[in-house]
Amino acid sequence: MSVTQEAPPAPTEEPKVRKPSTRKRLVPYWLLLPGILWLVVFFALPLIYQGSTSVQTGSLEKGFEVTWHFQTYWDALADYYPQFVRSLLYAGTATILCLLLGYPLAYLIAFKAGRWRNLVLVLVIAPFFTSFLIRTLAWKTILADGGAVVDVLNTLHVLDVTSWLGWTESNRVLATPMAVVCGLTYNFLPFMILPLYTSLERIDGRLHEAAGDLYATPATTFRKVTFPLSMPGVVSGTLLTFIPASGDYVNAELLGSTDTKMVGSVIQTQFLRVLDYPTAAALSFILMAVVLIAVTVYIRRSGTEDLV
Amino acid sequence: MPVLRWLRRHLIVIAGLLTLAYMILPNIVVMVFSFNKPNGRFNYSWQRFSLDAWKDPCGVADMCGSLSLSLQIAVWATVGATVLGTMIAFALVRYRFRARGAINSLIFLPMAMPEVVMAASLLTLFLNMGAQLGFWTILIAHIMFCLSFVVTAVKARVMSMDPRLEEAARDLYAGPVQTFVRVTLPIAAPGIAAGALLAFALSFDDFIITNFNAGSTVTFPMFVWGSAQRGTPVQINVIGTAMFIIAVLVVLAGQLIANRRKNNARP
C-alpha cells in the first residue's frame, strides 16, 4: 500500500474543501493498475487469441493460419450438439436440485440452528477443503454396483422408474446420467447454500412475526415474505451453480460413461489430445456465448440487475 | 397422527439435515476408506481394517511431491490475488472515476465464465507466446481466477464500513498512513481474510484450469485425477481426511476468536 504513503498529508491549516490534487486523483488508478493489467493480459487477451484461433485453419505440422473459416463453428455444432444439449440439461437439473436441497439447509442455518449455527456452517464449508476430486471419487464407492444405495433403490423399485425414464440402467447407477447429475449437484451445493444463507440472514425475523400476527400461515409467510426477500441469494446461487456446472467435465468423466460426456470433456480432448485447436476454440466460444446469453437473460428477467 | 404433525412442523429442519448428510457423506466415506486395506489397485470396495496408509502417508511415489507443489502454488496465488484484489476493491468502493462500469464487468466476467473456457483460452495465449508450461503458468492462471473472488469478498466488507470512522481518525490528527494501518485495515481485515481463504481453497483445489496449463507438472488434484485411471492409493484418502480435519479445526478456531472478540467488545 505504498500508494497511500505518497498522498500528501491532510491539510491542517485550511479547513475549506480543496480541489483534490492531480496526484490524489490518480490514486484509484494506481490501485487498479496491477490487478486490472493482470486480468487484461491473462483473461481478456486470451479470449481474443481464442477467437482468432477459432477462425484458423491448418494443421499442427504445417501451422495454423487465420482464414476466417467460420465453417468450423457449424461443423463443431453439428458434431457435438448432443454434448452441448446434455451439458445444459445436466447443469440445469443440478441447479434446480441444488436449489431444492440447499434452500432448507440455508433456512435452517439462518433461522432454526440457534447455537448450532456455527457448527452447521463449519460442516457446510469444511468439505470444500477436502479436494473435490477425492470427494467425487468417493461417490464412485457410494454408488457402486451392488452397493447399499443401489440395493435400497432397487428394493424400493425406484430404479425401475428411473431406468424407464432413461436416467439409470437396470441395476446400475454408476456410469448413468443420474450419477453425473448427483455428482454435479453435490459438487456445487455449497455455492448455492452460502449466497442463500447470506440473503436469508439479512431478513428481519420480526417480519415473520408480523406476517403471523396478520394471520398468514407459515406457508403464506414463506411465499409472500421470505422467498421474495431471498431472491438475490436465489439468483446468485443459481448462477454460481449453473455456470461452473455447464463447463464441468470431472463428474461426467469420473461418474459417467461415454454416453454422458459433457461439452467440457470434448473441449479438453480436442485441446489436449487431438490437438485440433480451431475446433476446440470454436466449441469453447460457443459454450461461452450460450452461458453469457443465458445469464444475461436470467438476470434481466429476475430483475436484480444491481447484483452485478 | 402425532407423528405426521411432528414431521410437518419440523419439515424444514429434517430436509436441511438430510441435505447436510448428503454433503458430509462423501467425507465420511473418504475417512472410512482411509483405514481400508484394498485388494488390488482400486480402493473402491471395503476389504479389511488397516492402519498402513496412516503410518506411511507419503508411501506413494510422487504424491507428497505434488501435494507440496500444490501448497506452494496456493500460497503464492493467495498472496498475489489478495494483494491485487484488495487494491482493486478499495479503489472501486472508495473512489468515483471513469471506466468504473467497465472495470466492474471485467471483474465479474471471470466468475461468469465456465472454467474450461478460461482454461482453454489461456492455453492458446501461452501456446502463441511459446511459454514453457509449468509452475509459472499455473501460478499466473490461479492468480487470474482467484482475483475476482477476492475483490468481491473485500468489496462487501469495505462497503459496509462506516467512512465516518476514518474521518474521525483524521480529525484526531492521524496521518493517512496511520489512519490506514490503525483504522481502515483492521476493519477490512475479516473481508481480506475471507478473500484470502477463498483464494487458497480455490487454488489448492483447482483441477480444470491447472489441467490445461500445467504441461507435465503434476499438482495434487492432477495426481488424484491420474490415479483415478491407474488405481487410487489409500493414501489419497488419508490426505483427504487430514485436510478435512485441519479445515474443521481452522474454521472452528476462527469462529472462537471471532466470538471472543464479540464478547470482549460488549461492555
Confirm if B160 and B221 have CB atoms less than 8 A apart.
Answer: no
Q: Which helix (H) or strand (E) holds A124?
A: helix A117-125
Spatial CA neighbour of B103 closest among A39, A24, A294: A39
CA-based angle B258:A121:B90, to the nearest 5? 55
B-chain CB neighbours of A108 within 8 Å are: 12-13, 16-17
CA distance A191 to B11: 23
Q: Residue A158 has what pLDDT? A: 87
Spatial CA neighbour of A261 closest among A189, A186, A176: A176
Q: How many CA atoms lie within 13 A of A220 on its CB side?
A: 9
State the ipTM, two decimals. 0.88
Q: Which helix (H) or strand (E) holds A56?
A: strand A56-59
Confirm if B53 and B238 have CB atoms less than 8 A apart.
Answer: yes
Q: Residue A25 has what pLDDT? A: 77
Instruction: Please tell me which residue of chain A has the smallest CA distance to B102.
Output: A36
Q: What's the pLDDT band for B52 if we cut at 50, 70, 90? A: confident
Nearest CA distance, A270 vs chain B (angstrom): 10
B-chain CB neighbours of A109 within 8 Å are: 16
Instruction: Please tell me which residue of chain A has the smallest CA distance to B147.
Output: A35
Q: What is the 3-state secondary structure (H, E, C) of chain B?
A: CHHHHHHHHCHHHHHHHHHHHHHHHHHHHHHHHCCECCCCCCCCCCCCECCHHHHCCCCCCCHHHHHHHHHHHHHHHHHHHHHHHHHHHHHHHHCCCCCHHHHHHHHHHHHHCCHHHHHHHHHHHHHHHCCCCCHHHHHHHHHHHHHHHHHHHHHHHHHCCCHHHHHHHHHCCCCHHHHHHHHHHHHHHHHHHHHHHHHHHHHHHCCHHHHHHCCCCCCHHHHHHHHHHHCCCHHHHHHHHHHHHHHHHHHHHHHHHHHHHHHHHCC
Q: Residue A19 has what pLDDT? A: 58
pLDDT in tens, B163-179: 888 888 888 888 888 88
Nearest CA distance, A153 vs chain B (angstrom): 16
Q: Which of A133, A142, A192, A221 to mutate to test the interface with B (most CBs of B within 10 A)?
A: A133
* Residue whose entry in the numeric block shows the C-alpha cell 493414501: B235
A-chain CB neighbours of B74 within 8 Å are: none
Instruction: Please tell me which residue of chain A has the smallest CA distance to B33.
Output: A138
B-chain CB neighbours of A271 within 8 Å are: 120, 123, 212
User: Is the model more confident about B261 or about B143?
Assistant: B143
Rounded to the nearest integer, the mean pLDDT of chain B is 89
Q: Residue A2 has what pLDDT? A: 41
Q: Residue B36 phi/psi, 5° resolution?
A: -90, 150
Q: Which of B22, B27, B221 sits opposite A101 (nearest CB)?
A: B22
The answer, yes or no, to whether residue B44 has pLDDT greater than 70, is yes
Q: Residue A86 has what pLDDT? A: 95
CA-based angle B239:A242:B152, to the nearest 5? 75
Nearest CA distance, A264 vs chain B (angstrom): 6
Kindly state the average pLDDT of the residues B124-143.
94
Grid coordinates of A304: 436484480
Question: What number of other Cβ atoms are within 10 A of residue B3's Cβ?
Answer: 7
The reply to whether A231 touches chain B by the CB within 8 Å rule is: no
Q: Residue A154 has what pLDDT? A: 86
Q: What's the pLDDT band for B88 if we cut at 50, 70, 90? A: very high
Going A137 to A139 to A142 to A146, the CA torsion angle's sign is negative
For chain B, give the percent of residues with pLDDT over 70: 99
For chain A, counts of helices (H) and of strands (E) = 17, 2
CB neighbours of B171 closer than 8 A, spacing ≥ 6? none
CB within 8 Å: B120 and A45: no
The reply to whether A219 touches chain B by the CB within 8 Å rule is: no
CB within 8 Å: B12 and A112: yes
CB within 8 Å: B207 and A42: no
Q: Which of B124, B176, B221 sits opposite A133 (nearest CB)?
A: B221
B-chain CB neighbours of A5 within 8 Å are: 176-177
Q: Which of B24, B103, B143 sits opposite A36 (nearest CB)?
A: B103
The reply to whether A85 touches chain B by the CB within 8 Å rule is: no
Instruction: Please tell me which residue of chain A has the smallest CA distance to B81.
Output: A35
CA distance B264 to B267: 7
CA distance B255 to A134: 27
pLDDT in tens, B216-230: 999 999 999 999 888
A-chain CB neighbours of B16 within 8 Å are: 104-109, 112
CA distance B201 to A132: 11
CB neighbours of A194 closer than 8 A, spacing ≥ 6? A106, A124, A125, A237
The answer, yes or no, to whether residue B23 has pLDDT greater than 60, is yes
pTM for this prediction: 0.87
Low-confidence stretches of chain A (pLDDT < 70) are 1-20, 303-308
Q: What's the pLDDT band for B64 if we cut at 50, 70, 90? A: very high
CB within 8 Å: A46 and B121: yes
User: Is the model more confident about B261 or about B203?
Assistant: B203
